[in-house]
Structure 1
Amino acid sequence: MHDEPRTDAERRALAAFTAAEPPADFADRVLAALAAEGRSEPERAPFRRFFGLGAPRLVGVAAAGVLAVAVAAVAAAAAGWMPEWTGLSRHVPEVIQAQPPRDEAPIGAVLPEGPPVPALALPADLADRIDAYVGAFGRNYGEAFEFHGVVGVVKDGELLLARGYGRADLARESPIDADTKFRIGSLTQTFTAIAVLQLRDRGLVDLDAPVRKYIPDYPAIGGRITVRQLLTHTSGIPSYTDAAVFSLGHTRAVAAADVRAIFQDQPLEFVPGTDFDLSNSGYFLLGQLVEQVAREPFADYLRANVLAPAGMRSSGIGLAADAIGHEFDEDEVLVPAAERHSSAYGGAAGMVSTAADLARWDRALRTPGLLLSQKSLDEMTTVVRDEYGMGWFVRQDGGSTIAWHPGGVEGYNATIARFLGDGITVFVLANTEAVDTRAVAYDLAQIVHGGAVQPPREFAEIRLSAPQLARYVGNYVLTETTHKELKGLVEEGELSAIEQVRVFRTGDRLWMNVPEHGDKWMHFMGEDRFFFKDPSATIAEFGPPGAPVAHLTLQAGELRFILKKE
């Protein structure tokens, strides 16, 4: 769900046809013509080169944008964080009061010295360059698309820069700084993996033992799934946050049994160990495994054994966030998100943290023996399948090894990227869904390493009159050729979500309705092309030029969907 298309191949192909009334199979012929043209892949945003992602899906929700479900499917190698466009409630989120710790284990302020790393000279104007880059968000798209959150740069475990932007609560003046608490979504999984590997280091958990050894009441299928497969997202257990019935936790704490009931009796997606698919169910179970082995709540184990040794005073599960999560509604106005209770996410996505604490987290991970043995630290960042190790995605780029992870729950998104060679870590925490923190983290890393970055791409809108917009109104159905082209890339059930869309007009606005995913405002950019302002960066193009509209092409990253007008 995020990459920006940077190609005009579609317009060139469409222009090759005459402006006469097109035949019934016109849209299918366009797709065939594009294939015959032998066009190259659309230019990828630099972020893709760096992190190797398309539009991921994850925690609590599906992918954002017009092609939310379908685009999410090709991101199996991605981290799946981005919340879906839901039409968006104006419900004010329940504020969960912080719970006092159950013990008073001291939290150290100073960590042992980390290993030596190569020197890296940071740009002298680093802060000014970051300010200029972040300040460009919303310049064309408006206030709702400004960046609200904090960015951080860590070198050798020391927080060199933390810049807060926007407001923690848009309803009042509430600045953001390094100590502002954010929900971090599936970044929680990096902590959950540490907890499990700690127990392995202590001889209490065998990674190759079946899940039922540690969670005896799990169904029989747990005898065929190992702890290692949960850690590496190779278990085949479907992710419960993708389920239509995932409606738990909006008003109160929920029992683990209620969460497990969503997924534990569902068929596996594949034979365990034979494939990779992100599964929040797996990491929810790992939180339960820790509870069973340690004989204490997962939040308590995490605080005493992971967070306290790392010096993370303001992080944990069950804490209240200072920054209120926001989503943007159909009128592209930011409104408070309807948050779920952390018990609905547990070891998959239940944590709160701060910029200052994430710097301490990075330092702890660079200090063998503090949380894990060197062997276990290395194992976390050793790729098992599809650029994923244990709790971390791992990329090789320009000779550097980068361990990174995105995360998100309703109203929040976050990304951390750790350069294992030169001691640099960058992270971004946001309390809106309007800005993709993965892209910000990539550009931030470029700036830190002395590279040049372009300001965020925000298209200029051109106003059309109501009669001009009427040309595009109609129902559009996915072509058979497109269906065949995407089979295997997009799961059948997910592809069906884009089988038919409706384009309609209200006043001087054009909208697209995707069944079960709400209405999206379409903004005209010229030459029969429209853009959407949400992070999916989907482009819609109608054609053929100069003739009655016969088809609609939707381009989202590397995915192209051609739909015929009924």
Structure 2
Amino acid sequence: MPRTDGLDRVNGLDGVGAWLRHRLPGLLDESRVPGAAVAVTAGDEVVEAAAGVLSTATGVEATVDSLFQIGSVTKVVTATLVMQLVDEGRLDLDAPVRAVLPEFRIADERAARRITARQLLSHTAGFEGDIFTDTGKGDDCLEKYLEVLHDVPQLFEPGGMFSYNNAGYCVLGRIVEVLRGEPFDVCARTRLFAPLGMTHTASDPYEAIVHRTAVGHTQRSPGAPPEPTPVWALARSNAAAGSMLAMRPRDLLAFARMHLAGGRGPDGGSVLSPDGVLAMRGPQITLPDIDQGTAWGLGWELFGPTGGTVFGHDGNTIGQSAFLRVMPEHDVAVAIVTNGGLSRQVYAEVMGRVLTELGGAAPPAPPTPPEAAPAPEAARYDRCVGTYASSTSETTVSRDAAGRLWLERTPLGVTADLDEAPYRTELVIWRGDTLIPVEPERGVHAPLAFLGDDGHGHALYLHTGRADRRVSR
């Protein structure tokens, strides 16, 4: 097992850098990713690499200083801004959200009175989370966004389980605005980006345009070449959840470095308290067995032992994907940003190399359907059959005459507007009660779980990281 201290760690990082510069162009070609940039830090040292193009329409080459959208990795930025308020004694995580936002309402008034900031941070608030309504480009967009939530349904009791919730982070962004008296973007820049020296970071297209900036790419049909997306970003009202923020990977590592340094910035000043740093990576809720993390903290996703503790976050926006992983026991972090294609393949190979060379262990293999997997037996899995829905998709699970289970998902709302393709696949047993699709989606076989009981012996939720509720028997 390689050592990761002192000179050995520096040599290991140099080796990772050389491998990245050699391997990344070919890896992008194999994964049909137009462009990417990667940065890895070990201690105070950083190595970087970039390859491909920022847009297939312009052919502009990607560089290590190019900006890519980081999507939902933004949520850890939002969580850090929230924890700064906790440090100052201005926010109680376990008080109802209405203590700060008395206007906060959802369809379930009883739940609205009880939901806390802690539950929003850990994705356990329980209301429908994929609400991407555009409320304008003005500084009042988050204030207006809260009005959009009035009819949003409650899926389960607050604190009852995990279900990824974008809307909850928009509410957190509004909490930051109200307690600071400034727009969310201003709070992020003055309290995080500037103190951490993040000079290549853009909160909106107006800031991004002065940098070398990537455009997202999507496929109009399976197997088609990636094409630039017709729009660059989602609505500003979702900025606190990850709709707009873009940066180079080195800047993302500057943010991670602060968390590795116990909340200290590059000048030694305190950006977040050591207690706040540790609280953010403390487990709040265990995740279903669907090959994501093992638990969720206050913003961070927590991963099981892989030669030590790993925490991080992924981000996906319109045709762009980002990955951040932090290994505090080895003082290592890696940031990967891409603009389309099978980005998960790029992440898996790069992260595997970093873990092996600098983290002392190889990562687990990604989930794949077992060869000759038996069809799920009727007595055990007929509870899964039915239709499940959210604001972004409707998913039907059915059983055919031969006893095989099939999943068909139809995009709704914003995902349909963005030409998201329908998805159909057979489901087979992965492990335990978790099923796995035979056909990959964007190169990934993402396991799914069926949880709860609707009172008639059927699963109440189809869980893919989000809990989609059953809408038919």
TM-score where L is the length of structure 1: 0.59
Residue 353 in 1 paired to residue 244 in 2?
no
Alignment of 1:280-359 (within 5 A): 280-318=166-204, 319-320=207-208, 322-330=213-221, 332-337=224-229, 338-349=231-242, 350-359=244-253
Residue 403 in 1 paired to residue 311 in 2?
yes
Alignment of 1:196-207 (within 5 A): 196-207=82-93
Alpha-carbon offset, residue 305 of structure 1 = 0.8
Say which SS state the counterpart of residue 518 (structure 1) adopts.
Answer: coil
- 1:384 matched residue in structure 2: 284
Q: d(CA) in 2 for partners of 1:210 and 1:324?
A: 39
Residue 443 in 1 paired to residue 352 in 2?
yes
Residue 228 in 1 paired to residue 228 in 2?
no
**CA gap 1:438/1:268 in 2 versus in 1, 3 angstroms:** farther
Judge conservation of contact 2:321–2:340 (CA < 8 Å) in 1: yes
Residue 158 in 1 paired to residue 45 in 2?
yes
Judge conservation of contact 2:86–2:93 (CA < 8 Å) in 1: yes
Judge conservation of contact 1:126–1:448 (CA < 8 Å) in 2: yes
Higher relative contact order (CA 8 A, sep 6+): 1
Residue 497 in 1 paired to residue 395 in 2?
yes
Judge conservation of contact 2:67–2:200 (CA < 8 Å) in 1: yes
1:100-126 deviation digits (Å, cap 9, x = unpaired): xxxxxxxxxxxxxxxxx9435343543
- 1:276 matched residue in structure 2: 162
Judge conservation of contact 1:240–1:263 (CA < 8 Å) in 2: no
**CA gap 1:438/1:258 in 2 versus in 1, 3 angstroms:** farther
Residue 148 in 1 paired to residue 56 in 2?
no
Q: d(CA) in 1 for partners of 2:364 and 2:301?
A: 25
- 2:444 matched residue in structure 1: 536
Alpha-carbon offset, residue 268 of structure 1 = 1.7
Alpha-carbon offset, residue 302 of structure 1 = 1.0
1:392-444 deviation digits (Å, cap 9, x = unpaired): 01224245111111011011000010000111111100011432154245324
Alpha-carbon offset, residue 445 of structure 1 = 2.2
**CA gap 1:302/1:118 in 2 versus in 1, 3 angstroms:** same
- 1:518 matched residue in structure 2: 421
Alpha-carbon offset, residue 284 of structure 1 = 0.7
Q: d(CA) in 1 for partners of 2:311 and 2:379?
A: 35
- 2:292 matched residue in structure 1: none
Alignment of 1:52-67 (within 5 A): none
Residue 485 in 1 paired to residue 381 in 2?
yes
Q: d(CA) in 2 for partners of 1:488 and 1:455?
A: 27
Q: d(CA) in 2 for partners of 1:202 and 1:158?
A: 32
Using the aligned pairs only, state the percent identity. 22
Q: d(CA) in 2 for partners of 1:252 and 1:392?
A: 28
1:213 is aligned, of 99, 103, 106, to 99
Q: CA RMSD in A?
A: 3.8
Alpha-carbon offset, residue 483 of structure 1 = 9.8
**CA gap 1:515/1:267 in 2 versus in 1, 3 angstroms:** closer
Say which SS state the counterpart of residue 164 (structure 1) adopts.
Answer: strand
- 1:127 matched residue in structure 2: 17
- 2:27 matched residue in structure 1: 137
Q: d(CA) in 1 for partners of 2:388 and 2:21?
A: 44
Residue 248 in 1 paired to residue 131 in 2?
no
Q: d(CA) in 1 for partners of 2:148 and 2:376?
A: 34
Q: d(CA) in 2 for partners of 1:259 and 1:482?
A: 44
Alpha-carbon offset, residue 135 of structure 1 = 3.9
Alpha-carbon offset, residue 223 of structure 1 = 2.2
Say which SS state the counterpart of residue 400 (structure 1) adopts.
Answer: coil
User: Which structure 1 segments of 5+ residues have no match?
Assistant: 1-116, 458-478, 503-511, 523-529, 540-556, 558-566
Residue 418 in 1 paired to residue 326 in 2?
yes
The residue type paired with residue 401 of structure 1 is T
Alignment of 1:71-150 (within 5 A): 118-119=5-6, 120-121=8-9, 122-123=11-12, 125-131=15-21, 133-137=23-27, 145-146=32-33, 148-150=35-37
User: Which structure 2 segments of 5+ residues have no match?
Assistant: 265-269, 287-294, 368-374, 401-406, 412-419, 426-437, 448-463, 465-473
- 1:88 matched residue in structure 2: none
Judge conservation of contact 1:118–1:421 (CA < 8 Å) in 2: no
Q: Bigger shift: 284-293 or 340-349?
A: 340-349
Alpha-carbon offset, residue 497 of structure 1 = 2.0
- 1:372 matched residue in structure 2: 272
Judge conservation of contact 1:302–1:316 (CA < 8 Å) in 2: no
Alpha-carbon offset, residue 535 of structure 1 = 2.1
Alpha-carbon offset, residue 202 of structure 1 = 0.9
Over alpha carbons, which structure has the higher Rg? 1
**CA gap 1:492/1:405 in 2 versus in 1, 3 angstroms:** same
Judge conservation of contact 1:210–1:226 (CA < 8 Å) in 2: yes
- 1:19 matched residue in structure 2: none
Alpha-carbon offset, residue 501 of structure 1 = 11
Alpha-carbon offset, residue 195 of structure 1 = 0.4
